[in-house]
Amino acid sequence: MRRARDGAYKLLYVSPERLWSSRLRQALADIEISAVAVDEAHCISQWGHSFRPEYRTIAQAVRELSPRSRPPVLAVTATGTSDVTADIIESLGMGTAPAIVELDPNRAELRYYVEDCDSLDERDIAIMRIAETFRRRPMIVYVPSRATAARLSELLRLDGHTARPYHGGMSSAQRVHTEEAFRSGEIDIVVGTNAFGLGIDKPDVEVVVHLEMPASVESYVQEVGRAVRGAGNGKGPSVGYCILLRTPGDCGVHESFVRDAAPHLEIVKQHWQSLVIASQQMDGPAALKGFSGSRSAGQDRDRDHLELAAHLLAEQGCLERVEDIIEEGIVRVLPGAARCLDADGRHDWVSAASDARWIACFAQAVCA
C-alpha cells in the first residue's frame, strides 16, 4: 500500500470485499483514482444477490473512496444478457445512457458435443474414454460437487493421467498451486467445480468437459470459452472440443442450490434481532463475522445466509455497510430501525404485506 501511495503502481487489483477495508481506504485517501474497471462484471448480477453481496456495493465504495469526483467506470463481461447488462448499469450507477460495446460471443473454432449417459457409472466410463482420447493434452473437466472433483481426479490419476481437483473447499495455497501447475503444463487435467476458471488464461486448453448440465447458458458460455484461447494467434490447437455428458438427474443439484440460495424469512428475523441486540450492547457497529464463526465446511451456508440477510436489510433501509477490517463485515443499524423490534422480540413490521415484500426480494435474489 505504501508503494501504491508513492506512485510506484499504476494498477491495483482488489476484490469487492477489500473495498471496505479500512487499511485500503487509508492508503488510498490521498490518491486520485483515475478510473475503475470491473472485470467479470456479470458477477454483480450472478453473485451480488446471493453469497457475495459486496458486488452490489461497488458504486457506494467508489463514491466514498473518491468523494470529490467520480472516476469513469468500465464494466467487462463475456456473458452480459440484456437483463444482466441493465442490472450492471444500475448497480454501478453508470447513468441512463452509458456507452455499450457488444461483440458476437460465437467462436467458430469451438466444436460442441452432447452425450447422454444412463447412469453415473456410464458417465465415469465416458470421461475416462475422453481423457484417453486426448491423453497428455490440456483439459478442464467441470463437475457438480467437491466430492466428485476429488473422486474423479483420483480415478484419472490411477489411469496414468496427471490430474488434480479444484474447488472452493481447498485452501488458497492449494488452489494457487493447482492453477500454476496447470498453466505451466505440470498437470494436464483439472477436475473442478465452477470455482475454477476466473483469471485462467491458458491458450492451449483443447477440451472442456461438463459432467452435468450447467446452471445456465451464460455459465456454459463462460466455461467452454476457456478452450483454445490461443487459436487466433497460432498458440496451441486450432480447434477446441466442448463435451457435455448429460444424465437424467442433472437438474437435482441446481434445484437444491436454488432452494438453499436464500434464507427463509424466519432466519432473516433471527439475524435482524441478533444484529439489533449486538448493536445495542456495543453501542455501535456490529461485525457479521462474530455471528457465524470461522468458515468451516458446515458453516458456509449459514455465513452466506447471514451476509445476504444483511444485504437485503440494508436495501430496506435498516442497516448500512461501513468500512472495516477485510472480511469482518461491519454493519451499523440505522437510527430508528431498531424500533422495528417490538417488546416481545417479534418484528412488528413483518405484517402480511411486509412478508410479501420480503418473499419478493428473496425470489428476485434467487432467480437473478
Res. 362: pLDDT tops 50: no
What pLDDT is stored for residue 27 in this prediction? 79
Contacts of 356 (CB under 8 A, 6+ apart): none
What does the pLDDT look like over 244-297, one tens digit per residue? 999 988 877 677 766 666 667 777 777 777 777 777 776 666 666 666 544 444
Answering whether pTM is above 0.85, one says no
* DSSP string for 79-137: ---HHHHHHHHHHTT--SS----------TTEEEEEEE-SSHHHHHHHHHHHHHHTTTS
What pLDDT is stored for residue 87 in this prediction? 92
What pLDDT is stored for residue 23 in this prediction? 81
What does the pLDDT look like over 13-27, one tens digit per residue? 998 888 888 888 887
What does the pLDDT look like over 301-348, one tens digit per residue? 566 677 777 777 776 777 776 765 545 566 777 766 655 534 343 443
Q: In the predicted model, what is the mean pLDDT of residues 354-366? A: 39
- Pairwise CA distance, residues 149 & 55, whole Å: 28
Res. 133: pLDDT tops 80: yes
What pLDDT is stored for residue 6 in this prediction? 76
Res. 78: pLDDT tops 50: yes
Q: Domains plus CATH for the chain?
A: 2-91 (3.40.50.300), 110-256 (3.40.50.300), 261-367 (1.10.10.580)
What does the pLDDT look like over 178-207, one tens digit per residue? 999 999 999 999 999 988 977 678 999 999
